Chain A
Amino acid sequence: MSIIITRRSLVAGAAVGAGALLTGCDKIIQHPEARKILFMGEEMQRGLQRALTDRNALVPEFSAAQMSPIFRSNGTRNPGTPAYTEMLVNNFADYRLRVGGLVDRPLSLSLPQLRQMPARAQITRHDCVEGWSAIAKWQGPKLATLLQAAGIRDTARYIVFTCADLYRGTPYYESIDLIDAFHPQTILAWALNDQILDVAHGAPVRLRVERQLGYKHAKYIMAIDAVASLAGIGKGKGGYWEDNVDYDWYAGI
């Protein structure tokens, strides 16, 4: 035997190897190509889920007894801009939800109009990307109802939400595809736990897109636009977090 390896050198070698692998992980994703491969994981997860599971499957709904005692708020807790504060002071009397983009009949809906639309109530689980979950009851019209009322065109591929809260000086924005937009549990909630939606949770209207993580559930929605591509939105990845801190656009896992 010409190769003689002692236990000590093997342990040391393993430790050095582990250390090299760790720093290697941080180094390798500096490379655009490696980064591209790693970021393909999102498309693989989305593709597998869409291919292997029912696209219309409903998330589990819970009973009132199963709800979280306290539903924590996260992200923006109050947009605090002069325009938002003015709306809030007037109890959102001047609020108008604009539905536009690739639609035949752009809409401008007041809060009473939204509340008069047929609503869906659902007790669902909210999963934050950080790992926590909370169960609450949400109520509001289906997004599909609004998109159909506006006459969404065949060329539309994504729905973009523009919000009243500012991140780095620009309004928060998020987007979803039409599979999630037309999902029966995707609603524009104006009530939480049988109360009018409060400021911390996204008043007057926030999105519920139940099969995705919390950051997709845009709060303080001001405008809904149907678009053919995400290229012109923000930096092109479809949302504030996606554009600025590498979060997945598809947050179904």
Chain B
Amino acid sequence: MNDPARPIATAPVTVIKRHRIATRLWHWITAVAMFIMIGSGIGILKAHPRFYWGRYGANFDQAWTTLDQWPGWVVTLINLLTIPASYNLAISRRWHLFFALVLSFALLGFMIVSLFNRHFQRDLRVRAGELAPREVAHDVREHLALRFHDPKRPAAYNILQKLSYVATIFILLPVMILTGLAMSPAMDAAWPWLLDIFGGRQSARSIHFIAMVALVLFIIAHLALVILAGAWNEVRSMITGRFTVPGHVPAHTGEDAA
């Protein structure tokens, strides 16, 4: 068994500091909060499992998708994930609206800290040339060959990784929060532009649902790649910050992907 997580005993390895404390803390708070948000969100969805476009939408109006159109395995899966396990809209809402604050303020805090400690600028900024088709194609080939770390800069994020993190942190999560707020009748009074940007409350509810599906796909890809890239090393680097790389690497490469 050739497990990348298991270094060959004789090969020289270097332990480097990879993720900063703010990143690690935010990662795990968000992981738990997302899990609860998805489960409780499914509970809320079940109260009216129909989705519409526009300002209004109820039973007599045209829905673009409803739960009874979904494949059986999807329904089984969402039943497994529902919080609480037995249908209870009030309790699902309690979980959802509490952890909505946890998720949102954790993201806000992480964004502020990561601007100041330059995590965003250093590690997530897409650099000139990285988006060139040749570079992206190279990274796709590297992914298919299950090589995820550039040997010269093993702690740095590759371009596909950067793009997926940027999309999640700066697009999907903010869209999730803003569409969530757009469903609040009180927030719609205070900030009517929420309705303008999403095209009405029922459109916001549909986009909230679609963005959730996109986040679930991100989570699946993220977990799969963590496992393929060497599960224990990757998970440990997100817990303790320490990351093992093959060979001898200078203590500080100038490009630390915290």
A, B in one complex? yes
Interface residues of A (CB under 8 A from B): 1, 3-7, 10-11, 14, 18, 21-23, 25-26, 29, 37-42, 44-45, 48-49, 52-54, 57-60, 62, 66-72, 125, 127-135, 210-213, 241, 245-248, 252-253
Asked whether A22 lies within 8 Å of B186 as measured between CB atoms, the reply is no
Q: Is B143 an interface residue (CB 8 A)?
A: no
Q: Which residue of A lies closest to B226 (CB)?
A: A10
B188 touches which one: A4, A38, A40, A60 (CB < 8 A)?
A60
Chain B residues whose CB sits within 8 angstroms of the CB of A132 once the complex forms: 48, 50, 57-59, 202
Complex CA distance for A15 and B31, rounded to whole angstroms:
14
Q: A1-B6, A72-B59, A252-B185 are in contact. Are A131 and B227 (CB under 8 A)?
A: no
Interface size class of B (residues with CB under 8 A): 35 or more
Is the pair A241, B101 in contact by a Cβ cutoff of 8 Å? no
Does B184 interact with chain A (Cβ within 8 Å)?
yes
In the assembled complex, the Cα of A1 lies from the Cα of B231 at a distance in Å of: 14
- With contact pairs A68-B61, A213-B185 given, residues A125 and B85 touching in the complex (Cβ less than 8 Å): no
Nearest residue, chain B, Cβ from A53: B190
Q: Is the CB of A130 within 8 A of B101?
A: no
A18-B35, A38-B98, A246-B91 known; A133+B188 contact, CB < 8 A: no
Whether the Cβ atoms of B190 and A54 lie closer than 8 Å is yes
Q: Chain B residues in contact with chain A, CB under 8 A? A: 1, 3, 5-7, 32, 35-36, 39, 44-45, 47-48, 50, 55-61, 80-81, 83-85, 88-91, 93-95, 97-98, 100-101, 181, 183-192, 195, 201-202, 205, 223, 227, 231-232, 235
- Complex partner residue of B185 from A135, A211, A246, A247, CB under 8 angstroms: A211
Contact B97 A41, beta carbon cutoff 8 Å: yes
User: CB distance A128 to B48 under 8 Å?
Assistant: yes
Expressed in whole angstroms, the Cα–Cα distance for A40 and B95 within the complex equals: 11
Closest to B85 in A: A26
State whether A246 touches B55 (Cβ < 8 A). no
In the bound complex, do residue B5 and residue A5 qualify as a contact, i.e. CB atoms below 8 Å apart?
A: yes
Residue of A nearest to B51 (CB): A131
Within 8 Å CB of A125, what residues of B? 55-56, 185, 188, 201
Tell me the minimal C-beta distance from B239 to chain A in angstroms: 12
**Would A41 and B61 count as touching, CB distance under 8 A?**
no
Within 8 Å by CB of A53, from B1, B93, B191, B202, lies B191
A212 touches B186 (CB 8 A): yes
Q: Is the pair B60, A72 in contact by a Cβ cutoff of 8 Å? A: yes
Which B-chain residue is minimally distant from A213 (CB atoms)?
A: B185
Beyond contacts A22-B80, A26-B84, A130-B89: 6 other A-B pairs, Cβ-Cβ < 8 A, are A6-B3, A7-B227, A23-B85, A44-B101, A67-B56, A210-B189
**Chain A residue with Cβ nearest B96:** A41
A71 to chain B: which residues have CB within 8 Å? 58
Give Cα distance in the complex from A212 to B183, angstroms: 11
When chains A and B are docked, how far (Å) is the Cα of A241 from the Cα of B93?
A: 13
Contacts of B35 in A (CB 8 A): 18, 21
Q: Name 12 interchain pairs, CB-CB below 8 A, sorted by A.
A: A1-B6, A7-B231, A21-B36, A26-B83, A41-B97, A44-B98, A49-B190, A53-B191, A58-B189, A66-B56, A246-B90, A253-B181
The residue in chain B whose Cβ has the minimal distance to the Cβ of A133 is: B56
A10–B187 touching, CB < 8 Å: no
Q: In the bound complex, do residue A10 and residue B186 qualify as a contact, i.e. CB atoms below 8 Å apart?
A: no
Residues A212 and B185 in contact in the complex (CB < 8 Å), given A53-B191, A246-B91: yes
State in angstroms the CA–CA spacing of A128 and B57 once bound together. 11
